[in-house]
Chain A
């Protein structure tokens, strides 16, 4: 039975790291969840259990522990399918993370279908992982990369998409469902329906969205969809690329090797069925199994509840922070249009100085360009501070962040 409120106290007990002290015996206040989240003991135990009790390679051998490992690994594919409302399990490919997922599309789909003169459209608030693979591709093909800009509120100016689509040259539109810097939630429905009308494929970078809100891939209607496990309580080094089957069937392999083949002869090879054609080599078995536990954990809480908690916390933080003199907050002010990611600058103090000073109070926030230098250029800043929340964060964490900024003010005599 799901409740509509998170029991933060109970949740926090599941995360061993939240018990540790940092620096001068300060409790850790972890506010860098957009980078990576902490892991509950359920996930850590799943990894230990696999390595302790049924470590074996999958899809090959017939002995008992190999069968157990294969079953556990494949069960996670079904969990992903259920979690995101995906009807065909063979559309789900395990990759290293969002970055590898996007690169797989650029390589195995892009290199085959993007031609000279074609246009790929991305946005100004993309992570480098949704810019650089496309830069590499358009350079190779003599194609062009265009950007949907953002307005002063940190939202995409979607009229610009119409302009690009009207050229008839656009082959692919890529965008993140939630900005990792501004927290902005993209109007995916509008973007994808525009692209559908124009017969253009869409790729969704859901690295920031899937961990924090309920996502329905079937309803979304995109063609490619990628996200990472480590930003949603799971282990690092594992992620998912989902590709619509009709598209996936037309794609050539990404990596060649074991497991992705049906028959190999001296000069000729036939490919394995989907999705195995795209999972060459021994996969990251343990971390897929750990990822399964992370999905279980979130499913039990309910993604609507997770989202509600983060909206409340974000509203609280925005209210408190906007009262502090010298703080500039980037991105939408309306919490229904944004996730729990708050980027800010504090007077003229460089974010690295802010982060170093508040780290002494045990507070972990990110400072820097957040792998979004195109966006930093747009905002005309070298860097920002970023606090980002998750299920175990509390209003007290926000209060501590705000108190710690006072130390910055004192040192810099602001």
Chain B
């Protein structure tokens, strides 16, 4: 039996997600949740020389949320902060064959992008702190808002 959203790739990815867990003293720790459904995740990252050398996630989520979070952490791990900061939602969605999710279910797209929202919020907060306010909260809010 086939389903346009619940493919084997997604169900397997959610069943066996990568990088689940917590870091001991993370440089970045960002929680976010989806008030509609109760998806709730925390992303943690360690940064060395502008590179995200470790990333873990923890929390509760549906299949779509978990699969996307797993893929996101795999794409980010070991990459430069700029790469993560400029990452587009399409990159995550296409990895899982969810390019049409926004069309299929405008509600569920929020599940898919929750971890990316947390990633961006976390990175911007980290950078804003580091650059002593040259990046404003407004920028990150706008960036997060443009996700959907």
Do A and B associate with each other? Answer: yes
B63 proximal to A (CB < 8 A) = yes
Complex interface: chain B residues within 8 A of A357 (CB): 3, 6
Q: State which of A102-110, A224-232, A348-356 sits at the interface with chain B.
A: A348-356
- Residue A180 interfacial (CB < 8 Å): no
Is A407's beta carbon under 8 Å from chain B? yes
Bound form: Cα–Cα A352–B36 in Å: 10
Q: Which residues of B contact A (CB under 8 A)?
A: 1, 3, 5-6, 11, 36-40, 60-65, 105, 108, 111
Whether the pair B1, A352 counts as a contact (CB closer than 8 A) is no
> Contact at B6–A368, with CB atoms within 8 Å?
no
List chain B residues, Cβ under 8 A from A407: 1
Judge whether A356 and B1 touch: CB under 8 Å: no
Q: Kindly provide the distance from the CB of A97 to the nearest chain B CB, expressed in whole angstroms.
A: 19
CA distance A412 to B65 in the complex (A): 16
**Interface: A373 (CB within 8 A):** yes
Per-residue 0/1 for A362-378: is the Cβ within 8 Å of any B Cβ (1 yes, 0 no)?
A: 00000111000100100
4 nearest A-B residue pairs (beta carbon): A350-B62, A352-B62, A382-B60, A382-B38
CA distance A382 to B63 in the complex (A): 13
A9 at the B interface (CB under 8 A)? no
Q: In the complex, are the beta carbons of B63 and A353 less than 8 A apart?
A: yes
Min C-beta distance of A57 to chain B, whole Å: 37
What total of A-B pairs shows CB separation below 8 Å? 49
Among the interface residues A350, A368, A412, which one has the most CB atoms of the partner chain B within 10 A? A350
> Contact between B5 and A368 (Cβ–Cβ < 8 Å)?
no
Q: Residue of B at shortest CB range from A348?
A: B15
Contact A411 B3 (CB under 8 A): yes
Interface presence of A383 (CB below 8 A) = yes
- Is A268 at the interface (CB under 8 A from chain B)? no
Contact A352 B108 (CB under 8 A): yes
The answer to whether B1 touches A350, judged by C-beta atoms less than 8 angstroms apart, is: no
- Please indicate the chain A residues that have their CB under 8 angstroms from the CB of B111 in the complex: 352
- In whole angstroms, how far apart are the Cα atoms of A296 and B5 in the complex? 44
- Per the bound structure, the CA–CA distance linking A351 and B39 in Å amounts to 11
Q: Residue among A352, A368, A407, A413 with the most chain B CB within 10 A?
A: A352
- Is A410 an interface residue when CB atoms closer than 8 A count as contact? yes
The residue from A382, A383, A412 contacting B11, defined by CB atoms under 8 A apart: A412
Given known contacts A382-B60, A410-B1, is B36 in contact with A353 (CB within 8 Å)?
A: no
CB pair B38 A383 closer than 8 Å: yes
Give Cα A119–Cα B22 distance, bound, in whole angstroms. Answer: 39
Cα distance, A61 to B80, chains bound together (Å): 71
User: Given A367-B37, A410-B1, do A350 and B61 touch, yes or no (CB 8 Å)?
Assistant: yes
Q: A256-291 CB contact bits vs B (8 Å, 1 = yes)?
A: 000000000000000000000000000000000000
CB pair B1–A353 under 8 Å, yes or no, is no
When the two chains form the complex, which single residue of A356, A369, A382, A411 contacts B105, counting CB atoms closer than 8 Å?
A356
Q: Which of A1-53 contact B (CB under 8 A)?
A: none
- Report the minimum CB–CB distance from B112 to chain A (whole Å): 11
Given A353-B63, A383-B37, 8 more contacts at CB 8 Å? A352-B62, A352-B63, A352-B111, A353-B6, A356-B108, A360-B3, A368-B38, A407-B1
Q: 24 pairs across A/B with beta carbons < 8 Å?
A: A349-B63, A350-B61, A350-B63, A351-B62, A352-B37, A352-B39, A353-B62, A353-B63, A356-B6, A356-B108, A367-B37, A368-B36, A369-B37, A369-B38, A376-B38, A382-B39, A382-B40, A382-B61, A383-B37, A383-B38, A411-B3, A411-B6, A411-B11, A412-B6
Please, how many angstroms separate the alpha-carbon atoms of A350 and B34 in the complex? 14
Q: Is B1 a contact partner of A411 (Cβ separation < 8 A)?
A: yes
Most buried by A among B38, B63, B108: B38
Closest approach, in angstroms, between the C-beta of A104 and any C-beta of chain B?
24
Q: How far is the CB of B9 from chain A (nearest CB, A)?
A: 12
Residues on A with C-beta less than 8 A from B65 are 350
- Minimal Cβ-Cβ distance residue in B for A411: B6
What residues of chain A lie closer than 8 Å to B60, measured between beta carbons? 382
Nearest residue, chain A, Cβ from B12: A413
Residue of A nearest to B105 (CB): A356
A349 to B65, CA, bound (A): 12
List of B residues within 8 angstroms of A413 by Cβ: 11
Cα separation A407 to B5 with both chains bound (whole Å): 13
**B108 neighbours in A (Cβ, 8 Å):** 352, 356
Among A353, A360, A367, the most chain B Cβ lie within 10 Å of the Cβ of A353
In the complex, A351→B62 CA distance in Å? 7
Nearest A residue to B62, CB-CB: A350
Of the candidates B11, B37, B40, the one having the most CB atoms from chain A within 10 angstroms of its own CB is: B37
CB distance from A46 to the nearest CB of B (A): 32
Query: How many angstroms between the C-alpha atoms of A353 and B11 in the bound complex?
Result: 10
A350 to B111, CA, bound (A): 12
Please, which residue of chain B has its CB at the minimum distance from the CB of A410? Answer: B1
- Shortest Cβ distance from residue B96 to the other chain A in the assembled complex, whole angstroms: 14
Shortest distance between the CB of A383 and any CB in chain B (Å): 5
Complex alpha-carbon distance, A383 and B65, angstroms: 14
Task: State the CA gap A360–B1 with chains docked (Å).
Answer: 13
Write out the residue numbers on chain B whose beta carbons fall within 8 Å of the beta carbon of A349: 63
Residues from chain B with Cβ under 8 Å of A373 in the complex: 38
